[in-house]
Structure 1
Amino acid sequence: MKRKRKRASSPAPSGPVTLPLPGFVAVREEAAARVERLLRYRFHDRSLLEEALTHQSFAAASYQRLEFVGDAALGLAFSNYLYVTNPTVGPGTLSTLRAANINTEKLARVAVRHDLYPLLRRNCPRLDLLAGQFIESVKQELEDDLGTTPYGGSDVKAPKVLADIVEAIAAAVYVDCKFNLEKLWKVTRFLFEPIITAETIDEKPVSTLHELCQKLGKDLEFKPRQTGGTTVVDVIVGGVLVGMGSSKQMGIAKLNATRDALSKLLGGGNQQVLTTGVGNGEGVEVGELRECKQKLNEQCSKKHWPKPIFKLEKEDGPAHDTTFVYSVQVETQGGTCVTIGEPMSRVKDPENSGAHKMLQHLMKL
């Protein structure tokens, strides 16, 4: 059995920058040539490739249209491949396998493996920071994980821009070869190797969590719920919510939630993970809620505790209606306490929700 290196946590995006920012290939002919050498494909219309390597922060003519096409084309290409290679597998499993191979986490790792981000024209320092943190985190994973961790595995969420680059490049090939799906698959398939199959799909975290709960003598329960078009799975251990995961695919949502739970349960230290679910009936007034972070900071200062640590745990929903879930960690004399807030869409409300849960817990100590 291979032993995995312990992954170091990356700083939060708002913290001091200690990582080297990703580079940039300024000579565009060289950027295009690198992609052609990688794909072993010569573009008839190189302007498609230039468009695929341009972020909207740099120019209006960005990769967005190509990314739209690439998302659909790769989905169809994988659907065809999985249908042919899995003649006895049902549609539910086929959908899970397709999502495992082309979800954001997997595609972002493709971009990291083939060093695609430096080829992107962009003008957004925050984008560089987020991409840089993820790239450094993924580099700490074992080589096997880099290709076979379809649902995550690093401590940093994959920035969508990395997956977008892969989809846009795939679309550039697809359009350049006159929408020939067979040609697209032949040119790009190697990028996604090793392809996740029914035999290799990562189910180990679930069995690991079951074994851990048995050793702890705790009951384990997975509770799925729907939020819009997304499935959210809560992991309940001993009556306490210790993890959450979301995806459009039930199987992936469960694995995301399992990984989240394991990261907290195996995090070490005297850690208590507490939360209450959405719609708990507490009826907190918004005006009161928005003061909770300040009140928590004041209480920690008064008791001479370190400042609370706020961490983005989940981000769900479309761009116009995104909700965020924050956890809050407080170091007390009795140990580490962690609470998880409710999903909220306003900028500061998710942090205040987590702070509100923490204040409630501290009052009981």
Structure 2
Amino acid sequence: MMKHITLKPLLHRGKDCIGIYFAKDAALQSIIRKHTDARWSKTHTCWYVEDTAQNHSKLKAALNKALEIPGREVIHVVREIRATEGEKTRVGTAATHLPAKTEKALSKKGAASGIALPSGIIHNVNVRALLQFERELVLKAYSPNTIRTYKNEFAQFLVAINKHPTEAFTPDRLKDYLQYCSEKLNLSENTLHSRMNALKFYYEKVLGREKFFWAIPRPKKQLILPKVISKEQIASLINSIENKKHKTIIALAYACGLRVSEVVSLKISNIDGQRNMLFIERGKGKKDRVISLSPHILFMLRDYYRTYKPKFYLFEGQYENEHLSHRSIQAVMQRAKKKAGINQAGGMHMLRHSFATHLLDKGIDVVFIQKLLGHKDIKTTLKYLHVTNKDLTNILSPIEDIDDLLKK
């Protein structure tokens, strides 16, 4: 039976890495360990190496060795791999086939028939565009998550356009591409917005074409209501957890309306026990904010600290000077939900949604909630108005107005 080796981008312990995935195979494992500095990750359940030029060479040598073993096929699906000008960059994507009509519209000068584009290959004409794109994102100090998302979206575009240079595209040609994404690839509204954001950044910030996207309409975003659970379910969730560290994590996330990224990056120095305050350092959008700590949660934090004695990060991971991973905390949340009998879909962010909604239920002004959550735009906070029970329970049905007229 043919076996596959899959390479994927991986963020491990704060570093860009390449994950090496394959089914259990002693021969393959021996080759990978012999020819690379790969280490095993329990968190991601794969072998991995740091994403460096030197490791690319070692991986190439190891994979060539793997090909010598009968019955092995190596499938490259690396989304983000450095390249020099003149090289072709391989990214993780399915084979892309543009229909003849779309390809002709994109080409203007191109062939009238459809072209089956190479699977996951960025043509050497556009490799430099990807490098310039990444450099501009880094220089503008975008977050690692945003850089990763934008690069992946832009890479999908580069794969699709194949040999056509990015500089030659006009707003009308981009409309053809986005129509293809919507109708043929069936991308969701959110994914389309993400891809358009990446393309807008490239054409307006990298190439300096101001107002390039003015004539390109955006799809209307779906109103997706926040996933919220009741206060009673929150209590059941927290009470179901026996591990003191895990219980403190879940309680703190709800009590302060924190994002999971903010929970894992909390340092001991972020807690001001004298003023009962929690300092969120460079949250989403690189905004600092301060949140009040309730006496109950402060008691839990002190009890947790006495037991675990963390040194730097509040919630330390498996290795020294490293915080707990996002995945570990999400796993804690899912186990607690199952134990508490909560069947509603949703992860850690459900606690943040519930925090905001419960404050609205108590009559707290939405502007204050916006500041507590660290939202840049009040519109983001206003979505909680759609799920709050405030005032709705006090609205009487019109049938009450004719109660006296109804036959008993």
- The TM tier, using the shorter chain, reads under 0.3
Give the structure, 1 or 2, with the largest relative contact order (CA under 8 Å, sep 6 or more): 1
Superposition TM-score, scaled by structure 2 size? 0.22
Q: Which has the larger radius of gyration?
A: 2
